[in-house]
Chains A and B, each alone.
Chain A
């Protein structure tokens, strides 16, 4: 898919994020907006997935390990045709398919129920290992958070990914630098996260602007490194695309009110 179309899709997903969090009066817009470009690239250009092949065992898999960024996933799945935008009205509501965190039992296109941080990457490692075991040619992608990387399980899973030489796994770090209580460095410094990823046995690609569609595509399309899992370090901006949310820790888990949503949607037109 051409670059302009993908950029346009990303703007549409960002509008969806604003729309659903605003309607629900809850949700996590900041960290959804920061990983939107990666999700759009994956679902519209990189992965062999579509609503038509939803049950195909050989389809690629995606696990949103930072499950609180569910609005970004829901927006992407909607734009990709897995369900209609009417579902946004029931985001986080009783009997809705769009639960507060992704639910494989309820939402079409979701490959794993996530939300308890650290678990998604571990499940993705299991998927990649299971794919190797069964000779399934699929590739497994997972998006993790930087705050999430404070969970020990992220590193247990990373150790296993390298041990089992899972070159069919791509871990994508949405490094927006902020988490609920402040910056990563204020809460629990990640130190040299790139060096850590290298030390854990990943083949690491760093993307200077993880919200630049072309740069994201280049990283995701880079040939696999045989015998090594891939780690893509996306330097992103929390709240990307909405000026008053960008780089603001306060928009981690707060929904815009109607007025703020209107302003945000105006910025995201086109």
Chain B
């Protein structure tokens, strides 16, 4: 007989059984074929596609904190592929196509919602740049169109299209297939399937050194001991420079805080995603009901996962001018992630001068949308030693050869 059977009922006394865990929590083995450093969306997706597409399952994903607790937990979940250049269209559209079937593929709900994205134009130059991007997108088979202000209001009635504001809405590009997903569910979906393949997802395991002998990486030093590795693949976003320096590599990256915030839960008011480079804000409404807003990066380098309040203040001011209806909404929470920004606002995905060491970084403010696409291509690169055609343009060497992929226009503040 339970000693408390006669006691009055206590809250929490009769809890249901804990649901099944989505992944094991294994200790590291001494050695793996592939060690992926970084257990965020990119690392997990890469592990999943290494197993699924290439039959490689002797993999450890090392995460210094908890799984998907870095930028994967901090982004604003926007998914789109309306980038200017052919190189970017290739990889981002590949990713968007994977998003469209990801829920079935992972057999896990990810709340992918193709509610479209509006990229607003506020000046004559914005209009020219936006139309150019629309035409470039259309040539690449990406669903993009130009909307006049009244058409913008049809898509998103709460946008203020009045001409008498500081930065009037003069039109927008519109990608109907763009949207949002539930970032945590995406990570959990990939983690669960990776775990099914026998991949070890190892948390609380920080890499403190890379073992390099004769120009070749042979393993990693971690806070949970040394781990030998046939190949090592970095997927550590804001901390990529720190890791690469362990291999003597200098990267063209600067790590910055990027802030975001959510409001309290509201009735559905915002049917799509609205982004504006000029006024530095992007807004959507999550399934649960909170408004999700992102800012531009804080100007200075930072690793502290927090930013300055005046950045948020400016972002809120911009949001209020675009959406006067938000005036009474309360801010619930703010946070920051650390984003690694490249000089051309495009990522670096590929091989390195160190044999068997692979690099995925430089996604800056826009890595979430690329999660399945880069996982697919990075897995191909690691498995074959050669870049996939979609990530072949995004080399580290392009900063020497000059073959940059300048996406400041399509990425800029709002990636």
Q: Do A and B come from one complex?
A: no
Hey, which bits of chain A sit against chain B, CB under 8 A?
none
Hey, which bits of chain B sit against chain A, CB under 8 A?
none
